[in-house]
Chain A
Amino acid sequence: MAEAVDYKQIGSRPVRPDGLDKVTGRAQFGADTVLPNMIHGKVLRSPHAHAKILSVDVSGALALPGVFAAISGADFPGGGIEGEVGGEGGGTLDDVAKNVMARDKVLYHGHAVAAVAAATPMAAEAALAAIKVEYEPLAPVLDVLQAMQPDATLVDENNYTKLPEKPEHPSNVANQGRLERGSIEEGFAAADVVVEREFKCPMAHQGYIEPQACVASIDEQGRGTLWCSTQGHFEFRAATSKMLGKDLSDLKVVPKEIGGGFGGKTVVYLEPLAVLLSEKSGRPVKMALNREEVFRATGPASASVARIKVGAKRDGTITAAHAWIAYEAGAFAGAPYMPGAMAIFAPYQLENFLVETFDVLVNKPKVAAYRAPGAPQSMHAFECALDEIAQLLQTDPIDLRLHNAAEEGTQAPYGPKFPPIGFKACLEAAKSHPNYLAPVPEGAGRGVAAGFWFNVGLQSSAEVHINENGTVMVIEGSPDIGGSRASMCLMAAETLGIEYEQVRAQVADTDSTGFCNVTGGSRTTFATGMAVTRACEDVIAECKKRAAMTWGLDEDQVEWEDGQAVPGPGVNADVKALSLADLARKAAKTGGPILGRASLNAQGAGASFSVNFGDLRVDQETGKVDVLSYTAVQDAGKAIHPAYVEGQMQGGAAQGLGWALNEEYIYNEEGVLENPGFLDYRIPVCSDLPMIDTEIVEVANPSHPYGVRGVGETPIVAPLAVATNAVSRAIDKRVTELPLSPPNLLEVIDGD
């Protein structure tokens, strides 16, 4: 384990700069933009889960008073659009364009077929009713296993499984993946115990509280500004401009404060429509989804079916593991079939394994990324099987994992050997945690599971401006979702050697700073933090140069200590140290304003592991589950702002428990979602959960100046299996199907 470093700013817990505005209602979110002469856009959605579009006639809408524009698929540029959308579940831009507005077919109930802009929201609703659409309904395919059958209804008649050799026939399988090592046959032959199960995870929504919303204002030359709720305004600019055949530089995208995303706001839905409606109407156009539209038409996480077989020796050594996992992609390819395959066995040393995964089209909304895409579903299956192995071997589930745990030098299932990682440290921290040492409450079961995510770097830019009084302005392009402004200020303060209060951070629009990839993949504190740190180092180099000029020394005779320039060791100079404020005040006479900048493609993101455990009790009469206690342990590398790391761990645990206990999309036979609202789609509320206890493990990532790994994805992975394992132990029957809702559990409890 890396040695602990004694930082002055990093590791402290200041209040986030945007906190007061957000709790007082002053913060401006996606729907808060209001412009003069602004009108309102609405979307007409398909009443069918699968149908050919024979015609769309918007003339009736345009004839109504107060209606300024109406569009359908025919108004979008034809031809294929090159490029891909970032993030798992993104897929090709061509598919996303067809998801934004259907062309020749509607592929799920709620698929957009037309849109209008009118003087008021009510006028826009009336205009939608005046649009005539002729459909030829087709049978929908709604289940992933049925969709994989050779005679299944085809969602896309032109979809052929992407294989080295094009298959003879189209199918609903868009992609398939395979990872293999050793011989599972030999591994299972050497096993003393074998567990084989089939697990099901339902579709689950990210559950962000703020629905998608935007305002577009486009001038008569086709240029303008888009204000929106987004995890990545640069990528929204690229997607919107490409879909509409615009030049990238004709569109400025301003990121508003964002009320949650969790991966769901890495792709566009309304933005191209608002821009096109604004261009056609000559007015600014506001569009906002309602909650029902969010459920019917924005990307959930994939439903999955996972078949798992695991063998182990009596001493706990896993001898073989075989996983077969089918992920629903929704109407377009893009399920996270490879990340799921790469993650499932990542925490362990396995000599023999085989993972086969599939990306399968069904007539449901196109999936989008959701925290650690693909990993919760795949790791749920394996972590549950491991729990059963532990029961069969009568061993502690943490000890079983410790016996097989990956460590530095272990060859990951997806290829490379791990650099320093913290999985064993997490297991040891969990095992010695007071909550684990406490007895399991009567009638409850204790579940244990591990989590993992790769984490990524990608591109980030940052500028650091020194104000005239020596205070500091950090300009970055990463929308702040989880408190990243505070983290950037802490890293800037630490690097510059000044106090946190002297630093402010601003998230800038696409015209005002350099390119940044999305806030996602647990990358912002790692990658944008690296850019901020380098920009501060740029400032320090400039300050040392100014100080050297002031003192008549060479630059290499000046050092930077505790926020000020000082003569280096052995330099004989009778001078007073120059602080950042001193240098800023004299900047006009030493060369002008002081600033630093950095743009980079951050490499070397460090994998993050977690271990979670919880005590859950089941009411045997009603099937209701109570979470009595829950503890999340995770390796953060280095927690820049521990309170926000803990917040990520707690939020991920809450979302994972919601997915495990209650959340599911309920479709009828026609493919119509029957629970498109938070009343019937039950995410956890405060009264459903206990305080989530957290313990941060810090095994520094050697590739980051402060050891950061990234923490946002991993926390959602383990809770699904923690809940399943706890409930299975509580009722003394293995449960394999999520959610662990009262009706589902009663079926298991009352079953044979």
Chain B
Amino acid sequence: MAQVTLPEDWTALTGGIRVLEINAENYRDLRSSLTQRWPDLGTVLERCAVAIDGQIYQDAFMEELAADSEVFFMPRIEGG
């Protein structure tokens, strides 16, 4: 089960839940699991980055998840 941590300001959309475990083989399935549970997350997920096991993906799609993967969502960064 991947350990998933959501940004604090998403808790208004998730009923206060910020840390959860999700059984998913890849990011697409994890994302699908989140939006099935909280449909309002769909929009914010489009506009955020995600770190999977320390690696930051600005646009994740099919990245594989291990059974003990750590997943953090965060704002997208670009720079100047």
A residues contacting B by CB (< 8 A) are 86-90, 164-165, 177-180, 206, 261-264, 266, 338-339, 342, 368-373, 414-419, 453-458, 518, 520-523, 601, 603-605, 703, 712-713
* Interface check B68, CB cutoff 8 A: no
Q: Give A246 to B80 CA distance when docked, in angstroms.
A: 27
Given known contacts A416-B70, A603-B58, A603-B60, A87 and B8 CB-to-CB distance under 8 angstroms:
no
12 contacts between A and B (CB under 8 A): A86-B78, A177-B75, A370-B80, A371-B80, A372-B79, A415-B73, A418-B54, A458-B59, A521-B77, A603-B58, A603-B59, A712-B79
Q: Specify which of B54, B75, B80 is in contact with A266 (CB 8 Å cutoff).
A: B80
Q: Give A456 to B79 CA distance when docked, in angstroms.
A: 8
Contact B12 A454 (CB under 8 A): no
Given known contacts A454-B56, A603-B58, A165 and B80 CB-to-CB distance under 8 angstroms:
no
Q: Give A263 to B77 CA distance when docked, in angstroms.
A: 13
Given known contacts A178-B8, A178-B9, A180-B8, A415 and B74 CB-to-CB distance under 8 angstroms:
yes
Question: Interface majority SS on A: helix, strand, loop or mixed?
Answer: loop
Q: How far is the CB of A484 from chain B (nearest CB, A)?
A: 15
Q: How far is the CB of B43 from chain A (nearest CB, A)?
A: 12
Q: Specify which of A86, A164, A601, A703 is in contact with B55 (CB 8 Å cutoff).
A: A703
Given known contacts A342-B74, A415-B72, A416-B51, A522 and B58 CB-to-CB distance under 8 angstroms:
no
Interface mask (B48-76 → A, CB under 8 Å = 1, otherwise 0): 00010111111110010000001011110
Q: Give A713 to B53 CA distance when docked, in angstroms.
A: 24
- Chain B residues contacting A458 (CB-CB under 8 Å) are 58-59, 78
Contact A455 B79 (CB under 8 A): yes
Since A177-B75, A604-B56 are in contact, a sample of 9 more A-B pairs with Cβ atoms closer than 8 Å, ordered by chain A residue number, is A263-B80, A342-B74, A369-B78, A416-B54, A416-B56, A416-B70, A453-B79, A603-B56, A603-B57
Give A604's nearest chain B residue, CB to CB: B55
- Chain A residues contacting B79 (CB-CB under 8 Å) are 87-88, 263, 339, 369, 371-373, 453-456, 520-523, 712-713
Contact A457 B8 (CB under 8 A): no
- Chain B residues contacting A86 (CB-CB under 8 Å) are 78
Contact A339 B77 (CB under 8 A): yes
* Interface check B13, CB cutoff 8 A: yes
For A87, A164, A454, A603, the residue with the greatest tally of chain B CB atoms inside 10 Å of its CB is A603
Q: Specify which of B58, B72, B78 is in contact with A87 (CB 8 Å cutoff).
A: B78
- Chain B residues contacting A178 (CB-CB under 8 Å) are 8-9
Q: Give A703 to B56 CA distance when docked, in angstroms.
A: 10
For B5, B53, B72, the residue with the greatest tally of chain A CB atoms inside 10 Å of its CB is B72
- Chain A residues contacting B51 (CB-CB under 8 Å) are 415-416
Give A714's nearest chain B residue, CB to CB: B79
Contact A338 B78 (CB under 8 A): no
Give B40's nearest chain A residue, CB to CB: A164
Which residues of chain B (1-37) have a CB below 8 Å from chain A? 5, 8-9, 12-13
Q: How far is the CB of A225 from chain B (nearest CB, A)?
A: 27
Contact B74 A414 (CB under 8 A): yes
Contact A419 B80 (CB under 8 A): no
Q: Give A453 to B78 CA distance when docked, in angstroms.
A: 10
- Chain B residues contacting A179 (CB-CB under 8 Å) are 8
Q: Specify which of B57, B75, B80 is in contact with A342 (CB 8 Å cutoff).
A: B75
- Chain B residues contacting A164 (CB-CB under 8 Å) are 9, 12-13
- Chain B residues contacting A369 (CB-CB under 8 Å) are 78-80
Given known contacts A180-B8, A372-B79, A601 and B58 CB-to-CB distance under 8 angstroms:
yes
Q: How far is the CB of A628 from chain B (nearest CB, A)?
A: 29
Contact B80 A713 (CB under 8 A): yes
Contact B78 A456 (CB under 8 A): yes
- Chain A residues contacting B77 (CB-CB under 8 Å) are 88, 339, 342, 454, 456, 521
Given known contacts A342-B77, A415-B5, A416-B72, A165 and B58 CB-to-CB distance under 8 angstroms:
no
- Chain A residues contacting B56 (CB-CB under 8 Å) are 416, 454, 603-605
Give B10's nearest chain A residue, CB to CB: A164
Q: How far is the CB of B50 from chain A (nearest CB, A)?
A: 9
Q: How far is the CB of A393 from chain B (nearest CB, A)?
A: 32
Q: How far is the CB of A448 from chain B (nearest CB, A)?
A: 24
Given known contacts A164-B9, A603-B56, A521 and B72 CB-to-CB distance under 8 angstroms:
no
Q: Specify which of A206, A417, A456 is in contact with B70 (CB 8 Å cutoff).
A: A417
Q: Specify which of A180, A370, A419 is in contact with B54 (CB 8 Å cutoff).
A: A419
Rank and list the top 4 A-B pairs by shortest CB-CB distance, nearest first: A263-B80, A164-B12, A521-B79, A415-B72
Q: How far is the CB of A263 from chain B (nearest CB, A)?
A: 2
Q: Give A50 to B9 CA distance when docked, in angstroms.
A: 33
Contact A521 B78 (CB under 8 A): yes
Q: How far is the CB of A502 from chain B (nearest CB, A)?
A: 33
Given known contacts A338-B75, A419-B54, A605-B56, A87 and B12 CB-to-CB distance under 8 angstroms:
no
Q: Specify which of A90, A264, A342, A601 is in contact with B59 (CB 8 Å cutoff).
A: A601
Give A517's nearest chain B residue, CB to CB: B78
- Chain A residues contacting B75 (CB-CB under 8 Å) are 177, 338-339, 342
Q: How far is the CB of A696 from chain B (nearest CB, A)?
A: 20
Contact A417 B8 (CB under 8 A): no
Contact B58 A456 (CB under 8 A): yes
Given known contacts A164-B12, A416-B72, A88 and B54 CB-to-CB distance under 8 angstroms:
no
- Chain B residues contacting A456 (CB-CB under 8 Å) are 58, 77-79
Q: Give A518 to B55 CA distance when docked, in angstroms.
A: 22
Q: How far is the CB of A651 from chain B (nearest CB, A)?
A: 13
Given known contacts A164-B9, A419-B55, A372 and B78 CB-to-CB distance under 8 angstroms:
no
- Chain B residues contacting A370 (CB-CB under 8 Å) are 80
Contact A417 B12 (CB under 8 A): no
- Chain B residues contacting A453 (CB-CB under 8 Å) are 79
Q: Give A432 to B46 CA distance when docked, in angstroms.
A: 46
Contact B74 A520 (CB under 8 A): no
Q: How far is the CB of B27 from chain A (nearest CB, A)?
A: 11
Q: Give A5 to B58 CA distance when docked, in angstroms.
A: 29
Contact A521 B80 (CB under 8 A): yes
- Chain B residues contacting A712 (CB-CB under 8 Å) are 79-80
Q: Give A520 to B79 CA distance when docked, in angstroms.
A: 6
Q: Give A455 to B75 CA distance when docked, in angstroms.
A: 13
Q: Give A87 to B13 CA distance when docked, in angstroms.
A: 26
- Chain A residues contacting B63 (CB-CB under 8 Å) are 603
- Chain B residues contacting A418 (CB-CB under 8 Å) are 54
Q: Give A178 to B13 CA distance when docked, in angstroms.
A: 16
Q: How far is the CB of A43 from chain B (nearest CB, A)?
A: 24
Contact B59 A87 (CB under 8 A): no
- Chain A residues contacting B59 (CB-CB under 8 Å) are 458, 601, 603
Q: How far is the CB of B46 from chain A (nearest CB, A)?
A: 11
Give A716's nearest chain B residue, CB to CB: B80
- Chain B residues contacting A339 (CB-CB under 8 Å) are 75, 77, 79
Q: Give A414 to B60 CA distance when docked, in angstroms.
A: 17
Contact B8 A262 (CB under 8 A): no
- Chain A residues contacting B70 (CB-CB under 8 Å) are 416-417
Q: How far is the CB of A377 from chain B (nearest CB, A)?
A: 13
Give B79's nearest chain A residue, CB to CB: A521
Q: How far is the CB of B10 from chain A (nearest CB, A)?
A: 9
Give A343's nearest chain B residue, CB to CB: B77
For B5, B60, B74, the residue with the greatest tally of chain A CB atoms inside 10 Å of its CB is B74
Give B59's nearest chain A residue, CB to CB: A601
- Chain A residues contacting B53 (CB-CB under 8 Å) are 416-417
Q: Specify which of A88, A371, A416 is in contact with B78 (CB 8 Å cutoff).
A: A88
- Chain B residues contacting A177 (CB-CB under 8 Å) are 9, 75
